[in-house]
Amino acid sequence: MALTFSIFLPTGFGQEFARFTDPVQAYATLTGIARAADELGYGTLWAPDHLTTIPPSAEMLFESWSVLTGLARDTTRIRVGQLVTGNSYRNPALQAKMASTVDVLSGGRLTLGIGAGWYEPDYIGYGYEFGTAGDRLRRLGEAAQIILSLWTEKETTFDGRYYQLRGAVNEPKGVQSPHIPLMIAGGGEKVTLRLVAKYADACNAMDSPTVLAHKYAVLRAHCDEVGRDYDSILRTATTVCIIRDTDAEARAAVPPGMEFAYPGDLGGYGLVGTVDTVRERIAAYEAAGVQELIVGFDDPTDVEQVRRFAAEFLS
């Protein structure tokens, strides 16, 4: 399949709206980017799901499910999804029902992206139990089973370690068949990628093409073990695009602190450089096995960067 390009939306997590004083104007900027991406042929609008900015601050941060509900009505063609929703922030049965509703509102354009959660300030600030990484991953495994059951079964009863349901009914279930696609994000090789193999329709990781190729090999092995068709799982990756007249200028523009999301030398493997260099980097992601490349920009609120990328690489 041809490589699809999608947009990593600004919602304020990275303090993208620090220069705005009017929240209505900030949201209008977000909507403008979404509508442009819809018109230009991008694949999906992906919104991060966080409650506290990074680093923590008093800057504006929009709640992702509310954003995507609005964008489901403000766009007509492009898909929408979370990258990714934090499992601990909402009961998974409620989250399944929310997703079903948004799928209907969008006419069948939602992908539910979910992850175990990692950003401790969200938990502390909003009163959630952070626990251990193992606890969060075990919760995610139960959540995936609950969500899929509520999307496919007449009613759901579930007796897990973390969640219990008794005859839960979810109608409507959404409009996509056989159900809304479920993405599980993360690159943990022993647990997360095994959960992808067992339950997910898509995966996502944020790393270099070299590392991604290795992760996909691990995922393929998990698929073989659980009897899953590896090619039935959409492989997505997230990257950053910084285009300048020279590679050196682009590398100098990589924001400090990006290591929290992108391991290693982002300037050496991301879409960072001249147009020709970016084209080579795109080819490297595709050669690694990426099928959908989710792109964030150095100024996420600048719709012209969205337009320029489309003109260079989507035509």
Whole-number pLDDT of residue 117: 97
Q: Contacts for 275-283 with beta carbons within 8 Å, 24 or more apart?
A: 275/243, 275/312, 277/247, 277/250, 278/241, 278/243, 278/312, 278/313, 279/312, 279/313, 281/209, 281/239, 282/3, 282/313
Question: pLDDT band at residue 258, thresholds of 50, 70 and 90?
Answer: confident
Q: What percent of the chain has pLDDT over 90?
A: 97
Whole-number pLDDT of residue 55: 94
Contact yes or no for 109/129 (Cβ under 8 A) = no
Q: Is the pLDDT of residue 311 over 90?
A: yes
Q: Is the pLDDT of residue 257 over 90?
A: no
Whole-number pLDDT of residue 260: 82
Per residue in 121-175, pLDDT (tens digit) is 999 999 999 999 999 999 999 999 999 999 999 999 999 999 999 999 999 999 9
Compute the distance between CA of residue 33 and CA of residue 45 in angstroms, rounded to an integer. 9
Strand ranges for 21-75 from DSSP E: 44-47
Question: pLDDT band at residue 75, thresholds of 50, 70 and 90?
Answer: very high
Contact yes or no for 50/122 (Cβ under 8 A) = yes
Tell me the HSE value of 79 on the side-chain side, using a 13 A CA sphere.
20
Q: How many CB atoms lie within 10 A of CB 74?
A: 15
In the chain, what's the furthest Cα-to-Cα distance?
60
Sequence-ordered alpha helix ranges (H) in 106-246 = 120-126, 133-152, 192-199, 209-226
Question: pLDDT band at residue 256, thresholds of 50, 70 and 90?
Answer: confident
Question: Across all residues in the chain, what is the average pLDDT?
Answer: 97
Which one-letter amino acid corresponds to residue 216?
A: Y
Task: Please state which of the four CATH numbers 3.20.20.30, 3.30.2290.10, 3.40.50.880, 3.40.50.720 is assigned to the domain occupying 4-314.
Answer: 3.20.20.30
Question: pLDDT band at residue 259, thresholds of 50, 70 and 90?
Answer: confident
Whole-number pLDDT of residue 190: 97
User: Span 25-38, mean pLDDT?
Assistant: 98
Where do the structural domains in the chain lie, given as residue ranges? 4-314
255 secondary structure, DSSP code: P
